[in-house]
A = this chain, B = another copy of it.
């Protein structure tokens, strides 16, 4: 089944999902943020079929989310690292993680904690602020049409 492409959709959410809405793509980005760089590491950690992983890595590279670089150990293979565009997905992953922590763990807290590197204390929930600094919640925002 060929899915509809929303690549040129006017909505930035739709365009983002067109790029990274594939279920595996964000898990690959998660692994890359955790320091994984090699095909075999992604494959082992995600348990993906090699052909599917290869296709996703190619697509993420075409989209400018990952880039290939020579192997750090001087070997013949190449490795994958996040670009600035890829690192900028941090907020999407944190939002998914915090929602998951709050709603998808009925059995209690999961086995990992997202902490601040300096103090090793859990980070706070993501915050959305107005231009003047007020903290905003679900009822406080609006989508305005520009044209």
Contacts and interface: CB of A to CB of B under 8 A. Distances in A.
Interface stretch (A36-44, A54-62, A88-96): A88-96
- Copy count, this protein chain: 2
Contacts of A21: 21, 23, 26
Nearest to A105: B12
Contact of A141 (B12, B15, B123): B123
B115 A16 contact: no
Contact of A104 (B12, B119, B141): B12
Interface in A104-138: 104-105, 109-132, 134, 136-138
Interface of A: 3-4, 10-19, 21-23, 26-27, 30, 33-34, 47, 64, 85, 87-105, 109-132, 134, 136-147
